[in-house]
Amino acid sequence: MAATRKQRLDVGKAVYEHRITKYEAARQNHVTESCVTNWLKLYLSEAGIPYTKDVLEISAGGTARDYSSMTKEELVHELMLRDIEVARAKKGYEVKGGGGKAKEYRSLSEPSSK
Q: Are residues 1 and 56 in the same domain?
A: yes
Whether 86 is covered by a domain: the verdict is yes
The pLDDT of residue 7 is 93
79 pLDDT band, cuts 50/70/90, is confident
Full-prediction pTM beyond 0.75?
no
Q: Rounded to 5 degrees, what are φ and ψ at 95?
A: -115, 130
CA–CA dist 14, 7 (Å, integer) = 10
Q: What pLDDT sits at residue 96?
A: 67
pLDDT score, position 11 = 92
> Are 60 and 87 within one domain?
no
pLDDT in tens, 32-58: 888 988 998 899 889 888 776 666 665
Give yes or no: residues 23 and 75 share one domain: no
Cβ atoms within 10 Å, residue 90: 9
Same domain, yes or no, for 61 and 79?
no
Distance CA 62, CA 16 (A): 12
Which residue segment(s) compose the domain that 12 sits in? 1-65
Q: How confident is the model at residue 66 (pLDDT cuts 50, 70, 90)?
A: low
* Any domain includes 111: no
Question: How many structural domains is the chain composed of?
Answer: 2
82 and 50: one domain?
no
